[in-house]
Amino acid sequence: MSDNPRPSLYGADYSALLASRVSELEPVISRVVGKHCESGDIVVRDCYLPSDISPNDLLAVAATGAYCHSLASNYNYLPRPAMIAVNEGKVKVLMRAETEADMLSRDPGYQS
């Protein structure tokens, strides 16, 4: 929701795939939700993912692109994620993840 508001704003539709490992299990219809306690924080409404997916697995949500980064916010005081590009198996960090220190540096009332 804070890093990709497009699904909650106007119903943008994405798909996801399991990126951290290969599963031999049959895929099941799944819903991917975000980290906010909001009913509208749905990243992918319906997609097929392996039935043995677990909290530590890495999912790839393709084609979120630069528009998501420009729309991102620090809602619930969460830092924005890194922007990553993957091409032919090579990963490039386009923009590093925001840190809590980055966020606090903008607060003139914060004393470190």
Q: Which residues are catalytic?
A: 37
Largest CA-CA distance found in the chain, in angstroms, rounded: 53
Please enumerate in sequence order all residues whose Cβ is within 8 A of that of 105, keeping only pairs 6 or more positions apart, or say none.
none
Give 78's Cβ-side CA count (13 Å radius): 15
